[in-house]
Structure 1
């Protein structure tokens, strides 16, 4: 079978490897769709992960069809459509340092257990939408970390895939208003399409003033007007986001950070002390990998809008190039022929 992997710093190749053999507790998936993550680009840039330099398999956002079932596996049948928890693979994280990757014709799921390693999705859900399951679990964990209550007023900075997934998540959990902030008009249009109540173009508008217009005014502090926003979520990773959010936060507000910040940020905790802001960091998906599956099933048409570009596996090199080019695409999916 074919497998895409990192072969050197800045280089990838599709190589021929043996199709995995299925043990009694395993299943074999025919890959149908796999998303490309920003971390894939990082692995490529550095030449692969430690211990797998020059031979790091790629792909950890899979959706596939079951084509072989081990004799001891229960609850999974041939032809089932499934999404995968890449973190629990016995041979290492799928596509992120383990020995297998989902940018391949087939993917072996060892010790396959429904609800632990895989979840079954209805067959009317497009595979390219189902393959959003892993990154949307990241978004849902970020939402959960901020512990939203029904009726909360929320602002999400960044209308990329994680920000859009978080927007859907907050609305699903009962937020009264979700405002999305970005600088790219097409992303803001997509935010409205997935359910945002309002959007702000921070390149053209005063974010704090607009939030006060949309969410109303909260208690002022030291003579500064504050919006009534309850939760700020940074899904953008720009230094100005944290500065804006902390400067705008009313007493007791929450700031969640799911974006990756590549440089240290200065924070004046003396200035923040009286606001008693809660700062919550979010990484991965300790429990959310299949929690979010049900929301994708219920709202798949909204989630489908997150996919911006689709490439056939024959064009995986181009898919990786586009995904790595700033501003070229939002969520890139690789699909596989029947």
Structure 2
């Protein structure tokens, strides 16, 4: 028997022994169109060569999940794609799970073993397009993504991890909902990286939801002199203080532009990171920045945003940066969660069983509610 044949046989036996302990069917949420997410009984998927099967422990519900659910989100301006997650796919991209099935190829490629707990980056890069070959994998041309396009997400009991996926080991000691927060936190840290923060900067974070809270922690870790948090909720502002914000301003009851102008000797903030997802947050940021300031946009908007571009050019000559996903920030995000520096019990406010997925979606849609990060625990 050749070495190749022996290796294939060993992998096959390993898979067969593991498969025998798995159930035949699982529960999974399936997209049938806007506001038509249905719980279905499906066969537990069988991973192919080089793939892994994980038992999902937690999946966060993101604002982008909600906007897709309502059919309000186009995929990065591509009019040929539908305004919701791909029909027939299982949603859910913020997840953590334990590897229950993997062959030798998968374990060697991802440098993991059966029994390890992993989180996966949302993007599943092709590795061949211009962006991937130049190291910009998070802007991959085909843009396959867990829970949105071509790969099932984690609102299910089990999920197949393709060999192209980007995986990261996470401590088993973390509560599942905390571990799944690695995805939004990595996104927050990427927004902070884009801002190129300096030690003497006054940094304003607009929106104290999951992304904004992570950006506050990241800006503080980067050494900003002052981190200002803006929100309409005093409860969320209090949580922002626990994440490192120095100044808390309620944008509904305070003249935030006047207050920030006053605290900066009339100049304005050095950096503004927009995490509200509301068009008013954009105009607010342009107005409170100083000349030559930096604006970072992270939010996913449900409608077009119109602003006076003369502020960006002729008035202030601002640096405007977009931020997408959490490239190269996952190890730092996981380390930050594992370190205990974040008030994770206060951030991960609500957990639901998989059967209660609709309640989880509805709670995220309640913008006036007290929830911060809502998770589903299959």
TM-score, normalised to structure 2, is 0.78
Aligned partner of 2:365 in structure 1 is 324
Q: Which residue is equivalent to 2:213?
A: 164
Tell me which residue corresponds to 2:248: 199
- Spell out, residue by residue over 1:184-217, the C-alpha distance to the aligned partner (whole angstroms, 9 max, x if none): 111111111111111001111111232245x431
Residue 64 and residue 185 in structure 1: after superposition, are their counterparts in 2 closer, same or farther (change >3 A)?
Answer: same
Q: Conserved in 1, the CA contact under 8 Å of 2:68 and 2:85? A: no
The aligned residue for residue 116 of structure 2 is 80
* Map of 1:184 onto structure 2: 233
Residues 95 and 300 from structure 1, CA distance in 2 versus in 1: closer, same or farther, beyond 3 angstroms?
Answer: farther
Indicate the SS of the match to 1:124: coil
Decide whether aligned partners of structure 1 residues 53 and 177 sit closer, same or farther in structure 2, where only a CA change above 3 A counts. Answer: closer
Residue number among 72, 96, 105 corresponding to 1:63 in the alignment: 96
Residue 297 (structure 1) shift: 2.4
2:259 maps to 1:210: yes
Q: Quick one: distance in 2 between partners of 1:287 and 1:250?
A: 29
Q: 1:140 to 1:286 in 2, by over 3 A?
A: same
Counterpart among 145, 150, 158 of residue 98 in structure 1:
150
Q: How far apart in 2 are the matches of 1:47 and 1:216?
A: 38
Change (3 A) 1:245 1:318: closer
CA contact (8 A) 1:69 1:76 kept: no
Q: Are the structure 2 counterparts of residues 300 and 83 from structure 1 closer, same or farther at C-alpha, using a change threshold of 3 Å?
A: farther
Deviates more, 1:323-332 or 1:268-277: 268-277
Q: Is the 8 A contact 1:162 1:235 kept in 2?
A: yes
Number of aligned residues: 324
RMSD between aligned residues: 2.5
Shift of 1:248: 2.5
Taking a change above 3 Å as real, the CA distance of residues 271 and 255 of structure 1, as seen in their structure-2 partners, is: closer
* Superposed CA offset, 1:253-288 (max 9, x none): 111111234223121416852432212122223433
Gaps of 5+ in 1: 218-224
Taking a change above 3 Å as real, the CA distance of residues 239 and 319 of structure 1, as seen in their structure-2 partners, is closer
Whether the 8 Å CA contact 2:294–2:319 is kept in 1: the answer is yes
Is 1:264 aligned with 2:305? yes
Deviation at 1:88, TM superposition (A): 1.6
Cα separation, partners in 2 of 1:62 and 1:52, compared to 1, 3 Å: closer
Confirm whether residue 279 of structure 1 aligns to residue 328 of structure 2: no
2:176 to 127, 144, 148: 127
Q: CA deviation at 1:163?
A: 0.7
Whether 1:107 aligns to 2:129 is: no
1:47–1:53 Cα contact (<8 Å) kept: no
Q: Does 1:292 align with 2:325?
A: no
The whole-number CA distance in structure 2 between the counterparts of 1:327 and 1:334 is 20
**Distance in 1 (alpha carbons) for counterparts of 2:101 and 2:341:** 27
The alpha carbon displacement at 1:236 in A equals 1.3
Q: 1:46 to 1:56 in 2, by over 3 A?
A: farther
Is 1:20 the counterpart of 2:45 in the alignment?
yes
Bigger drift between 42-51 and 5-14 goes to 42-51
Instruction: Please state how far the C-alpha of 1:304 moved relative to its aligned partner.
Output: 4.3
Q: TM-score, normalised by structure 1?
A: 0.87
Equivalent residue, structure 2, for 1:310: 351
Contact 1:233 1:256 in 2 (8 A): yes
* SS of the residue 1:101 aligns to: coil
